[in-house]
Structure 1
Amino acid sequence: MERQESVYNLIPKNEVKVEKPPRYVSKFNERVKQEKQMNKSSHKTMGPPKAVIPSPEKFLRKYSKGPKPTDKMSTFKEENIKRLAISTRCDNTWMRTQSKKDYVKSNVMDNILSPPRKPQPSYAFTKNGDKQLLENSGLVPKYVNKKDYGQIPEYLEQRNVEERRAQEEYDEYVKERLRQGAMKQLSDEERLSTLQGLKKNLEEMHYQFQCLSIVIDTIPKRNYKERLELQMKQLERDIDLFERHKTIYIANN
């Protein structure tokens, strides 16, 4: 942006004249004017001024624009018609096409000898006797008759195999660690004896907790009570752990 007051503004500037390009002129200008004068100026009214009027004697005649059809009825004569002879009542030619089979008797015998139609099993679901098919009610044991009824699905068998494989790998890993001497497995006797000792300690702690005074008005009594509660909770966790898991390992270090 130029400032309002500047020394450079005092220098006179030369005016630059912009020269415009010459105007575009179509080379078909004269031809278009001539065609307009030839084709449109004469049709400014309803049609050209000198129209060719047809003569009233030259009217459209029948079959003038197409071929004339041939007259077939003129060549047709009655004596050329060959009429068929009507058969009399005494004539027995119509009996030749009649079959010797008695369809009425055959249909009667077929219906007599046919087995009776078994009714479809249905059930009534209203007191007025409205019925529905028993098959669509869900009372028919369809799935019991399947071949794979009562069998374990394939995905469950596959999952059982994977769980069995994972358990075997875990057992092998534990055995390998045991061979290395990293852990020691408790026997059943040791586990039961440890469990009995934990229960005995819990009974003693419980007896000490019951022997507390009803009114705990000093800080040492309150601390002693809290310590007994923590020890009892820890013993309950250990007892639950020993009862739920039959295989227990202890680290040597």
Structure 2
Amino acid sequence: MATQSAQEGACDPPPRPEQPGKPGGYIAKLRELVKHEAEKNKSQWKTMGPAKVAVPSPNDFLQKRSKEPKIAPKKKERDSKKLLPPVPPRTYHPVIRIKKNFINKNAVAVIKGEPKKPRHFCVDTRQGDKYLLEPSGLFPKYIKKKNYGVIPKYVTRRNEEMKREAEEYQASVLEQLKMKAMKTLSEEERTNILKALKKNWEEINNAYQRLPILADTMYKRMHKEELELKLKQLEHDIAAIEKHKRVYIANV
């Protein structure tokens, strides 16, 4: 047994070394007082209200109309002599205020006034959303103006200036045409010219008749052709003057 106990003692673990103790924590100075107060007021909520309650007196019962506001007592009426105003002086002019019947005045204004015109709206959705037409620019309000369709002053002034310029241009053109217009021969001048043409034709015809029959040289042939041309031109001019009674001559 001794051996067995020796073996068991050999198997036990060695004792742990003792650790040094920790230093003590903070201890409040009023710790004991707090404990005492906590034990004193413990389970205070178990009672129904404070221990002592003031009991109302039976004479202080709620009376009728006691909570309604009380009106201040009326002042004593003064004497009628004291309420009269003093006598006004001679220079006093009272202000006369004419009472106007505004009800009748407003009624007459409504009866004689024009009714309000309906405002124009435009509904653009199926839910009924609408907006005014006048500020949107879709309402033709300019055609209702007093000066709508009236020609502006600057347009009339410009038209008058253009018309005056056209008249001046037309007058200048007519004047130039008159200056360049053909002159009409009088009857006396026409007869004198016709006589002169016939006289020239007779002279040239006499010269033509005196030509030799045989034109064997170039000069004779040219002279004969020249006389024939002059005779033809004179005959043409004489026939034209005799045919037309009015003859015009251009101013060169």
Q: Shared fold (TM-score greater than 0.5)?
A: no
- Please give the TM-score of this superposition, normalised by the length of structure 2: 0.30
